[in-house]
């Protein structure tokens, strides 16, 4: 049941990412930035959702690394992605008066912890001794 819930959350994250792209004015954004947003915030979570649903390690690890990389990010300056993440529960830290600071995303931290727990469960299940 934990795998199905995590897969559902990842699928919803991916669908919300599609919604952000569809209903935002992306006509004036560079095409490379839009494709990178699509790859990072839509395709990786969708791949993770599929593999978590089927209890496969590769997609689970990809989603885990994605959410771990999103847990703390720099805000300010030129951003590679044209939009913010689809779902974010971020708390800003630092001095934002000159455009510098960090955003600690507690949703990404919680998802990384959940995915790490599920990966640990898969690895523990693979290492159990099976009777002959």
* Domain spans in the chain, listed from the N-terminal domain onward: 2-126
Chain mean position to CA 31: 21
What's the CA gap between 50 and 56, in Å, rounded? 9
Instruction: Express each pLDDT in 62-98 by its tens digit.
Output: 999 999 988 887 776 555 565 577 888 888 887 777 7
Q: Which residues contact 85 (CB under 8 A, 6 or more apart)?
A: 17, 41, 70, 105, 108
Could you list the beta-strand ranges (E) of 45-126: 72-74, 90-93, 102-105
Give the chain's mean pLDDT.
84
């Amino acid at each position: 049941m934990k795998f199905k819930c995590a897969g559902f959350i990842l699928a919803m994250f991916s669908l919300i990412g599609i919604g952000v792209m569809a209903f935002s004015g992306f006509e004036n954004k560079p095409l490379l930035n839009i494709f990178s947003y699509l790859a990072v915030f839509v395709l990786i979570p969708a791949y993770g959702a599929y593999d978590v649903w089927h209890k496969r390690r590769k997609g689970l690890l990809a989603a885990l690394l994605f959410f771990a990389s999103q847990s703390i990010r720099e805000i300010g300056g030129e951003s590679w992605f044209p939009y913010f993440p689809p779902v974010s529960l971020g708390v800003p830290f630092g001095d934002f008066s000159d455009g510098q600071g960090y955003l600690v995303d507690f949703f990404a931290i919680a998802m990384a912890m959940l995915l790490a727990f599920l990966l640990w469960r898969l690895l523990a299940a693979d290492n159990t001794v099976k009777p002959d």
